[in-house]
Amino acid sequence: MTPMTVLVTGGSSASGVAAARALAAAGHRVFTVGSDDARIKAAAGQAGSAVTPMTCDLASLDSVRGLAADIRTHGIERVDGVIHLVGGWRGAKGIEDQSDEDWESLERGAVTTLRNVSRVFYSQLEASPHGRLAMVSSTAVSSPTAAAASYAAAKAAAETWTMAVADGFRRAQSGNKEQPVEQHSAAVIFVVKALLDPAMRREHPDRRFPGYTDVEELAAAAVGLFDHPAASLNGQRILLAK
């Protein structure tokens, strides 16, 4: 596979470090993004010297446009992949105490950041011979609990947005009978129940983590996106929960 330029948004969490490290190890040029300069630089240090940290509030469309411009100053004309790892979590006791503050936070983290990143980088992903957009959703979308109603609803909105991006790629790359075009860009949803940081496993060697997905497995799935044909990936909901 030709090396790609991949943006890992939410690169300062354990999943972001694992994804950035695995993508860089696979030979890709990796930019990681977080809202906090110190945290994203420290995480990039853990992910390896080939990873370039960028600071941006992904909840602001203007800031994401600025991020795209900053990436161009690194000599990059086209981002080929976006692995979107921003979401957040808020829960309550049930339906009645789902607060507006929690909803606004989830909408901003899980939906607005995804909308901004995909709107700004859409044309680059669509133009790439191996364009890929991935976001991570939750098993809570198909089996929501009352306690996590806002979280599940925000993730459902993010999934629907991602399916719409997949439709955009499909329509742009469908060609026609006379001039068929091979699909080359794909938007996918990874579905997990919970992510497991290796530090948690080290801290609790005797504990079982049923249904959890190791962050390295998520990272490997992100790398694998560039090894599979776009037509087989586009619009897929890929279950990584055990």
Ligand X SMILES: NC(=O)c1ccc[n+]([C@@H]2O[C@H](COP(=O)([O-])OP(=O)(O)OC[C@H]3O[C@@H](n4cnc5c(N)ncnc54)[C@H](OP(=O)(O)O)[C@@H]3O)[C@@H](O)[C@H]2O)c1
**Nearer of residues 127 and 209 to ligand X, judged by Cβ:** 209
Shortest CB 128 distance to ligand X, Å: 22
Is residue 36 close enough to count as binding ligand X by CB under 6 A? Answer: yes
Backbone dihedral region of 211: left (phi > 0), alpha (psi from -120 to 50 degrees) or beta? left
**Nearer of residues 173 and 222 to ligand X, judged by Cβ:** 222
Helix (H, G, I), strand (E, B) or coil at 201: helix
Identified binder of ligand X from the candidate list 4, 7, 16, 189, rule CB under 6 A: 16
81-100 footprint of ligand X as x/- string (CB under 6 A): ----xxxx------------
Between CA 88 and CA 73 the distance in angstroms is 30
Bridge partners of 89, per DSSP, are none
Shortest CB 2 distance to ligand X, Å: 27
The residue number whose beta carbon is nearest to ligand X equals 87
What's the DSSP call for residue 54? E
Is residue 7 close enough to count as binding ligand X by CB under 6 A? Answer: no
Shortest CB 176 distance to ligand X, Å: 37
What order do you get walking across the sheet with 131-138 strand by strand? 51-55, 29-34, 5-9, 81-84, 131-138, 185-192, 237-239
Exposure string for 23-38, b = 16+ CB within 10 A, e = fewer: bbebebbbbbbbbeee
Is residue 54 close enough to count as binding ligand X by CB under 6 A? Answer: no
How many Cβ atoms from other residues are within 10 Å of residue 133's Cβ? 27
Identified binder of ligand X from the candidate list 92, 194, 200, 238, rule CB under 6 A: 194
**Nearer of residues 64 and 230 to ligand X, judged by Cβ:** 64
CB 195 within 8 A of CB 14: yes
Is residue 150 close enough to count as binding ligand X by CB under 6 A? Answer: no
Shortest CB 104 distance to ligand X, Å: 13
Exposure string for 63-79, b = 16+ CB within 10 A, e = fewer: ebeebbebbeeeebebb
Shortest CB 36 distance to ligand X, Å: 4
Q: Which stretch binds ligand X (CB under 6 A): 108-116, 163-171, 175-183, 202-210?
A: 108-116
What's the DSSP call for residue 175? B
**Nearer of residues 119 and 170 to ligand X, judged by Cβ:** 119
Is residue 117 close enough to count as binding ligand X by CB under 6 A? Answer: no
Report the candidate in 9, 29, 43 with the shortest Cα–Cα distance to residue 135.
Answer: 9
Shortest CB 70 distance to ligand X, Å: 14
* Residues contributing to the site for ligand X (CB under 6 A): 10-13, 15-16, 33-36, 39, 56-59, 85-88, 109-110, 113, 136, 138, 192, 194-195
